[in-house]
Amino acid sequence: DLSAWQWLSLPFTSSGSDDTARVTGQFASAPSAFFSVETKDRDSDGDRVADWDELFVGSDPYFRDSARSSSLTLDAEGNVTGSVSGDYASFVESFRNALPGGAAGQVTREQAARFLQQASFGPTMAELDRVQALGFSAWISDQITQPPTYQRPAIEAMIRDLRGPRVDLSYNYTGQEVGASNTASAIARGAIAGPDQLRQRFAFALSQILVTSKRDANLAGRPLAMTDYYDIFLRHAFGNYRDVLGEVTRHPAMGRYLSHVGNQKARPEINQFPDENYARECMQLFTIGLWELNQDGTRKTTSSGSFIPTYDNGDVTELARVFTGFWFGGQNWNAGGYTDDHLSIPMTLWADKHDFEAKSLLGGLSIPARPASQANGLRDVDDALDYLFNHPNTAPFISRQLIQFLVTSNPSPAYVGRVSAVFANNGSGKRGDLAAVVRAILLDVEARDVRWSLGSTSFGRLKDPVQRAMTLARAGRLARHPAIHWWDYGDFYDSSLQSPGNSPSVFNFYRPDYRSPGLLAENRLSASAFQITNSYTSIAFVNRLWQNTVSGLRLYDSYVFNPDYRDLLEVAGNTPLLVDRANLLLCGGMMGATTRTAILDMLSQVSSNDPLQRVQLTVFLASACPEGAVQR
């Protein structure tokens, strides 16, 4: 009979390594009794390492810095803001080979979740199983072999439906035209349901470096062109960065966006000169950046301490001459270029419009004068792109940004240097091998070893709103819907200042090295996504997370894709386990004790008779909490 079940609080006596509690009174004399014993690891010195763990690795359980000296800084609430305790660092270091979980069988659930935050659009229970079964390196290898989930086919299917049976019509359209906002739907399908998760995440990062946007009047209403352009990054995510540069340069969406389509050789007598827009951004944003860099990403300086520019206006003018003669593929000069189809075919070089005179730029590139022909015009372009690709700045400039988009906004120079070295040489003499680069980023000691994140004030990144929305969708198993739509009338962008294919300029939604005014700027810390975080989005985006938690992806009656929280509903009756599972799916396994306790307290106010409400509240709080917003 367990109806009289009651708690006992027993005094313990210690003798050597044994702690003993003696049951007395009515329970001692009872003919039979059931006892449920709960134990908690003792942490006598409060260093977050249990006493038995410290005894195991040889540190003193009664002195927090016995194994290694380390200063500790606490905030007003007692949380670590500086370095962790010496004994904690020693404990982590003792298990360094096991904690990163490089091989199958070594990866914990939390490590797998943290890894998938960096390498995908968010964990699922099935993907956690795969990472644990394969290990990090083998999982990456498997992902590299996955065929791409391209975006253009989704738009093509919408166009066929609109011009044919009109079975769906839940996509955005006007008359006979499929709207550009459907670009977000195509990208969301890959992000949520694509089995090639690493490719999808890496392509999204590349798309924020080599930017086009439907904000441009020439690309508004051109979803085929936008997705065809995006597919460059999916196609070459594990290919070579030089191929990315080549396809971007010749893609008509970029030709329209940065206005080098229709560029003609100079004719001063009629005041005709090449447009310099693409030439400038090709250097500033896509390859070498503004300032000369060391291979670890730090800026070079003159003897007087001044930064050294990589190029000047003369270099821009010379490079603009290289990008002359391009027009829309399959069209006559000065004809076409106004339909989605025309904006999806690589541009053609017209020899009579190209400048074949000698060109010299960047203090080292000399392109000789050549006879006029299409082949020689393309040789000019290839010579220029080859030079920029092989420029010593390109490896650290691109590598640092890719680290920032995937792992941390403030990678150490050593981290950048290691990845930059792989960009320069993949180990087999090949430069620009992106498969090797992404492997180097994700398996680097700073990405995998928790000593770089625990207690650090500089490691991590504020997640993109798109990433957070896609992570929530994956936790809600929206991948079960075969043809997701994710377009609206600007509501998501208004609440977050980000949506796929809708950047306000070629400088993306935010700059990689943006420093938020105040404490971050004073400490010279980059906080990229904080550039789109303000007093309005801080509230509006959290409200959007609640809507998506409850309703999934929905736009009035146009489309409804409800979430399915079966992975969480099955543990809804066990509150601690429910929170722990949400931690894996939405916080990368990094939820702190303070947050966990706060969520448990809120759930204690929700009836156990309403499991769905308990799950929805848990999902929302895990999405909106600091650990759900910041990737560490």
CA–CA separation, 402 and 460 (whole Å) = 13
Q: Residue 39: its pLDDT value, please?
A: 59
SS3 150: coil
pLDDT in tens, 486-541: 998 889 999 999 999 999 999 999 999 999 999 999 999 999 999 999 999 999 99
Q: Residue 56: its pLDDT value, please?
A: 47
- What is the pTM assigned to this prediction? 0.85
User: What are the residue ranges spanned by the domains of the chain?
Assistant: 257-390, 396-459, 461-631
CA atoms within 13 A on the CB side of 170: 15
User: Which burial class, exposed, middle or buried, applies to 507 when counting CB atoms under 10 A from its CB (0-12, 13-18, 19+)?
Assistant: middle
The rounded average pLDDT for each run of 10 residues, N- to C-terminus, in the chain (632 residues) is: 63 64 66 64 67 58 59 47 52 46 76 98 98 98 98 97 93 92 96 98 99 96 97 99 99 98 97 98 99 98 97 98 98 94 97 98 96 99 99 99 98 98 98 99 95 85 98 98 90 96 97 93 94 97 98 90 97 97 97 96 95 98 98 94
pLDDT in tens, 280-304: 999 999 999 999 999 999 999 999 9
SS3 263: coil
pLDDT in tens, 459-479: 999 999 999 999 999 999 999
Cα-based distances in Å from 29 to 24, 175, 472: 8, 86, 55
Which of 129, 133, 123 has the alpha carbon at shortest distance from 103?
A: 133
C-beta separation of 19 from 30 below 8 A: no
Q: Residue 26: its pLDDT value, please?
A: 61
- Strands 18-20, 173-174: pairing is unpaired
CA–CA separation, 298 and 296 (whole Å) = 6
